[in-house]
Amino acid sequence: DGGITQSPKYLFRKEGQNVTLSCEQNLNHDAMYWYRQDPGQGLRLIYYSQIVNDFQKGDIAEGYSVSREKKESFPLTVTSAQKNPTAFYLCASSKTQGVVSSGANVLTFGAGSRLTVL
């Protein structure tokens, strides 16, 4: 079945360490996204990528980095510069063609990765 796989599901990090969250999709989607969710809050956009080897900052990109070397993969690195990294991280993907032709930006989300800084 097609979908998005995020790993790990739970991750613990010591302060000062970088960690990388994996996101893989087999939906043949062009666009991929990373969101952060804090308890009781909505989702905030970290980075998004519309095409391989290209990505744009979202609203809260500071302290994060991404790469898009393959269409299927969009890993997120939470660096030591991110002062409050404990959160639920969600990866999503969508077709870009559909956004232009039909107006719908239908995102498919992964199950999320919960990062806790000790």
Partner 1 sequence: DAKTTQPNSMESNEEEPVHLPCNHSTISGTDYIHWYRQLPSQGPEYVIHGLTSNVNNRMASLAIAEDRKSSTLILHRATLRDAAVYYCIPRVDSSYKLIFGSGTRLLVRP
The residues that touch partner 1, with contacts defined as CB under 8 A, are: 31, 33, 35, 40-45, 48, 50, 58-59, 90, 92, 94, 96, 99-100, 103-112
Minimal distance, residue 100 CB to partner 1, in Å: 7
Residue 27 C-beta: closest distance to partner 1, Å:
13
Strands 10-13 and 4-7: unpaired
Gap between the Cα atoms of 29 and 55, Å rounded: 14
Residue placing its CB nearer to partner 1 in the complex, 62 or 81 = 62
Q: Return the H-helix or E-strand segment holding 52.
A: none
* Cβ nearer to partner 1, comparing 15 with 54: 54
Distance of alpha carbon 94 from alpha carbon 105, whole angstroms: 7
For residues 105 and 46, give the distance between their C-alpha atoms in angstroms, rounded to a whole number.
Answer: 17
Cβ 3 to partner 1 shortest distance, Å: 10
